[in-house]
């Protein structure tokens, strides 16, 4: 089954809500799979045991896609989604995941994390006509 944009958003949103913090390595750089088992936005969609979990922390979504094309439709949606407001009118699955990843990477304080979960991610979902899962942690 190919990952839809709604499924990707739901899984990332729920994962980040349950985790409650960024996934970082010993140098405090965001990483797909941190030593404590936490995962970033993209890392939440990479299957356990896949080599992309351990790739360099500086690899962005597009670099991962270049190296691991087998993750298309698994770790990012295939195709495009239309924006309900503003530009660009269409966004690729890679750009969609890249934006979700940037929200994770920039939420470096508890206040920023709360703002991301309560404001940024719901507004992002609204932009694409997606629904927001119910929060587990508030």
* pLDDT tens readout for residues 29-77: 888 999 999 999 999 999 999 999 987 666 789 999 999 999 999 999 9
Q: Region 111-128: what's the mean pLDDT?
A: 96
Q: Which two tokens stand for residue 50?
A: 């896949």
The mean pLDDT value of the chain amounts to 91
Enter the pTM of the model: 0.92
For residues 77 and 29, give the distance between their C-alpha atoms in angstroms, rounded to a whole number: 25
3-class SS of residue 63? helix
Q: pLDDT grade, residue 138 (50/70/90)?
A: low
Domain boundaries, the chain: 5-127
Please enumerate, as own/partner, the contacts of 83-91 that have beta carbons within 8 Å and a separation of 24 or more: 83/127, 83/128, 84/126, 84/127, 84/128, 84/129, 85/126, 85/127, 86/127, 91/128
For residues 13 and 34, give the distance between their C-alpha atoms in angstroms, rounded to a whole number: 18
Position 84 scores a pLDDT of 76
**Residue that the structure tokens 């992002």 belong to:** 124
For residues 129 and 78, give the distance between their C-alpha atoms in angstroms, rounded to a whole number: 17
The number of residues making up the chain comes to: 138
């Amino acid at each position: 089954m190919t990952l839809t944009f709604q499924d990707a958003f739901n899984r990332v949103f729920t994962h980040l809500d349950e985790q409650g913090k960024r996934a970082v390595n010993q140098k405090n750089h965001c990483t797909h799979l941190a030593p404590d088992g936490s995962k970033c936005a993209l890392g939440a969609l990479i299957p356990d045991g896949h080599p992309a979990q351990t790739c360099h922390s500086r690899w962005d979504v597009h670099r991962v896609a270049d190296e691991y094309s087998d993750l298309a439709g698994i770790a990012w949606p295939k195709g495009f989604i239309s924006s309900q407001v503003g530009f660009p009118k269409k966004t690729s699955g890679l750009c969609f995941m890249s934006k979700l990843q940037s929200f994770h990477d920039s939420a470096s304080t508890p206040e920023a994390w709360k703002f991301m979960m309560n404001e940024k991610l719901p507004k992002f979902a609204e932009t694409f006509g997606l629904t927001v899962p119910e929060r587990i942690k508030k």
